Amino acid sequence: MSFTTFIQHCLTGISLGGAYALIAVGYTMVYGILRLINFAHGDIFMMAGYFMIFAMVSLPWAVAIPVVIIATVILGVAIERVAYKPLRTAPRMSIMISAIGVSYLLQNLATYLFTALPKAYPTIPLLKKIFQIGDISASLVTFITPVLTIALVIGLVMMINHTKIGMAMRAVSKDFETSQLMGIKINTVISMTFIIGSALAAVGSILYFTDRMSVTPFSGTLPGLKCFVAAVLGGIGSIPGAVVGGFIIGICETALVALGYSTFSDAFTFVLLIIMLLFKPTGLFGEKIIDKV
Amino acid sequence: MKRILAIVLAMVLALGLMAGCGDSSNGNDASAPAADNGASASDAPADDGAASSDKVIKIGVFEPITGENGGGGFQEVLGVRYANQVVPTVDIGGETYSIELVEVDNKSDKTEAVTAAQSLMSSGVAVVLGSYGSGVSIAAGEIFAENQIPAIGCSCTNPQVTLGNDFYFRVCFLDPFQGTVMANYASQEGATKAAVITQLGDDYSSGLGNFFLKAFKELGGEIVAEEQFQTNQTDFKAILTNIKAAEPDVIFAPSSIATAPLLIKQARELGITAKIMAGDTWENATIIENAGEDAEGIVISTFFDENDSANTTAADFVKGFKEFLNATPDYLSKNGGDGVAAVSALGYDAYMAAIEAIKAADSTDPVAIRDALKTVELNGVTGSITFDENGDANKDMAFIKTVEGGEFKFLKTVTISE
């Protein structure tokens, strides 16, 4: 493999990893606060793709992007209000089943509304601009994705560590009930979590689909599962962990395809999950959980 | 309060489930009423003889409307619907039977295809048309054979569809032929190094890719890269990077309509300038629409050319079909304009072949229709059609087209005598 080919593969892998990282952060945050694996997250990502298609029909891309982010946030918060909030005191299993239900609801709703035929994702001219450095050629979105991902995550970590709402989030994730007793409005905190998670999913969706150009009702399923694996790999509940996990999976997947094992690229992700759970169930950056008696 | 919420939630979820099954139950809905009087169609004389003067013979349409081949499948269905509009009745034994189409959606999926084929069987069709895509046809072939219902494939080009199946016929040419045509064309254009991209587990794609590979090697060319991708994969950058490094003159990438624009765009984005070629599936306007300028210069082989004025049947068909499309805005938008796709022409030909066979058999009995099919001679839109001992149409001509100025342009015909 020549050097330029290698660099080209690296670019592809890092860019894919960046998009995965943004989605994985959504999984990990909701888990950190609610101890819930939000299986609908991948489908929120898919819906964001459809929102973009419809927004771009009548709006210029600079307006469409914020519109899509806001619409996705509304969807995410609405799902929390309708499907998760009523089950807050229910056993954790019920709320997880509810999440799976929402996931299927969104998929089938999308099939019903937009048909199962792939819809072309609109081109954002700026992001699609092709850059050529020597023999390496890639569009701007490939370069922007990892940079934007890291910038957003740094911003998010700053917010969690240095603002009042961030402090409240940390408190809620440590102890749900005590923080409620301390006067933290947990509903606001949870809504905020879903707002951030959905907004990141929307940004991830714009970056991911700009590179891949077609949306179907099921295009959120596999990325969703892979990002869930990424979150577990990094240690679910840990934001830097999710980012590292996302990049690892993106790069490994690309590397496997590059070496000619495209047949196994999907299987690899899930084998990685099994190995991780067997040998280090808390993930790379996960906290050790001490069961209190 | 909580209980009420829980109930509402449960209902919402149940609704979601129902919406999910919506597509499949649509197919069933269509066949359900058919099932009632379906029995009477297959053993017609037994009952309702006196009551009904309007006798019905059912023709099954086994096509993908959704899934990765949904776009092309629908174009084929349009061809069949148009044919049904042109010839809505058939005379059997001196009585006029009206023809009812029973459409099912095989969802471009081999598992769904089996279910869809079974629901066709239970609705009592006398003959089946379809499908677009070889994989689903192979999967359903056995069911048609077991139930002794003849099937006429429209654009399933893999040899396995009809091989060893006495009930499967088809009106299109085969992949070994198509692969050879494209390999010949590539080598005539001076290409010596080719790369082949195929879809893993897709009979059409891997079959056609292999035949191209074999023919190209026989012509003295070199295959510099062979790559595979998975169904529903949308990111081809890694395999395309490998191909770029191998520096081929041409890339042969038989794949679905959904895959094509992604592949073309990503290849051009990576700076690959090699000529991209594919098989009959790519003759679809949505590819040009979605890939835009990047689609310029791709080369495909297909069954039919709408501007071919030598064939009067074809000229009439093109005129009529365009009127048919323009009459219904929904058809027009799903067809991607009023261009006439080769698969629509094949759908039309398959329907006409079925009518000829029913007339020749002079019976509604599926086995008699099957026997009659072997002797049918039809002057179709895509050329004259007769079936050989495998049930394949005897065709020796393919049309090569390219994309120029945002539309398909006819390049030349290639004839290969076997």
The DSSP H or E segment spanning B291 is helix B285-291
Give CA B143 to chain center in angstroms: 19
Beta bridge partners of B384: B379
A264 in B contact zone (CB under 8 Å): no
Task: Look at residues B96, B97, B107 and name the one whose alpha carbon lies nearest to residue B73.
Answer: B107
For B279, list phi and psi in degrees, rounded to 5. Answer: -95, -160
Q: Tell whether B14 lies on the interface with A, counting CB pairs under 8 A.
A: no
Asked if the C-beta of B201 comes within 8 angstroms of chain A's C-beta atoms, the answer is: no
Is the C-alpha dihedral spanning B315, B319, B322, B328 positive or negative? negative
Q: Is the ipTM of this complex over 0.90?
A: no
Q: In angstroms, rounded to a whole number, what is the distance separating the alpha carbons of residues B58 and B351?
A: 12
Burial class (CB in 10 A: 0-12, 13-18, 19+), B237: buried
pLDDT at A1: 67
Per CATH, the number for B175-302+399-415 is 3.40.50.2300
pLDDT above 50 for B33:
no
On whether any CB of chain B is under 8 Å from the CB of A213, the answer is yes
Are A109 and B19 a contacting pair at CB < 8 A? yes
Give the domain A3-279 fold: ABC transporter involved in vitamin B12 uptake, BtuC (1.10.3470)
CB-based contact B241 A218, cutoff 8 Å = no
Question: With b meaning 16 or more CB within 10 Å and e meaning fewer, what string describes B188-201?
Answer: eeebebbbbbbbee
Closest CA to B349 of B120, B133, B152, B198: B152
pLDDT for B159-216, tens place per residue?
A: 999 998 999 999 998 998 999 999 999 998 889 999 999 998 888 999 999 999 999 9
The confidence score (pLDDT) of residue A228 equals: 93
Partner residue facing A262 (CB), from B22, B229, B265: B229
pLDDT tens track for A52-67: 999 999 999 999 999 9
The residues in A 32-91 lying below 8 A from B, measured between CB atoms, are 82-83, 86
What does the domain layout of chain A look like in residue ranges? 3-279
Separation in Å, CA A44 to CA A59, A141, A221, B240: 21, 21, 10, 30
**3 state SS of B249:** coil
Question: Which chain A residues touch B258 with a CB distance below 8 Å?
Answer: 117-118, 214, 216
Is B5 within 8 Å of chain A by CB?
Answer: yes
* Residues in contact with A276: Cβ distance below 8 Å, sequence separation at least 6, in sequence order: A232, A233, A283
Average pLDDT, stretch A115-144? 83
Least confident of B34-48, B217-231, B380-394: B34-48
B339 beta partners = none
Question: pLDDT tens-digit profile of A174-211?
Answer: 888 899 999 999 999 999 999 999 999 999 999 999 88
The b/e string for B83-101 (b: 16+ C-beta within 10 A; e otherwise) is: bbebeeebebeeeebebbb
pLDDT in tens, B273-315: 999 999 998 988 888 888 888 889 999 999 888 877 677 888 8
A201 in Cβ contact with A44 (< 8 Å):
yes
Q: Out of A2, A115, A212, whose CB is closest to B245?
A: A2
Average pLDDT across chain A, whole number: 90
Looking at beta carbons, which residues of chain B come within 8 Å of A219? 232, 234
Burial level of B314, CB count in 10 A (0-12/13-18/19+)?
Answer: buried
Q: What's the pTM?
A: 0.75
- Cis check: omega of the bond before B363, within 30 degrees of 0: no
What is the distance between the alpha carbons of residues B54 and B44, in angstroms, rounded to a whole number? Answer: 12
Point out the residue among B5, B19, B232 whose CB comes nearest to the CB of A86.
B5
Phi, psi of B328 (to 5 degrees): -125, 110
Q: Is B339 helix (H, G, I), strand (E, B) or coil?
A: coil
Three-state SS at B235 = coil
Q: Is B327 on the interface with A (CB under 8 A)?
A: no
Q: What is the pLDDT of residue B26?
A: 41
- Three-class secondary structure of residue B198 per DSSP: strand
- Chain B hits for A18, Cβ within 8 Å: none
Q: How confident is the model at residue A131 (pLDDT cuts 50, 70, 90)?
A: confident
| Alpha carbon distance A210, B33 (integer Å) | 45
Q: Does A265 reach chain B within 8 Å, measured CB to CB?
A: yes
**CB count, 10 Å around CB of A155?**
10
Q: How far apart are the first and last CA of chain A?
A: 56
Vertex A7 angle, CA A6 and A13, to 5°: 90
Q: CA B93, CA B100: separation in Å to the nearest integer? A: 18
What is the predicted pLDDT for the residue at B30?
41
Q: Verify whether the Cβ–Cβ distance A12 to B241 is below 8 Å.
A: yes
CATH code at B54-173+326-387: 3.40.50.2300
The rounded distance, in Å, linking the Cα atoms of B384 and B393 is 9
Give me the residue from A115, A213, A222 closest to B261, CB to CB: A213
Give B99's strand partners: B57
pLDDT > 90: percent of chain B: 49
Structure tokens at B124: 């009592």
| Annotated domain spans of chain B | 54-173+326-387, 175-302+399-415
Q: Which of A56, A74, A73 is nearest to A65 (CA)?
A: A56
Q: What average pLDDT score do residues B358-371 get?
A: 92
> Phi and psi dihedrals of A138, rounded to 5?
-155, 160
Paired strand residues for B372:
none
Distances (CA, A) of A243 to A195, A204, B260, B306, B361: 18, 12, 32, 53, 68
The answer, yes or no, to whether the previous bond of B98 is cis (omega within 30 of 0) is: no
**pLDDT digits 0-9 by tens, A70-102:** 999 999 999 999 999 999 888 888 999 999 999
Burial of A240 per CB tally in 10 Å (0-12, 13-18, 19+): middle
Query: What are the chain A neighbours of B23 within 8 Å (beta carbons)?
Result: 111, 116
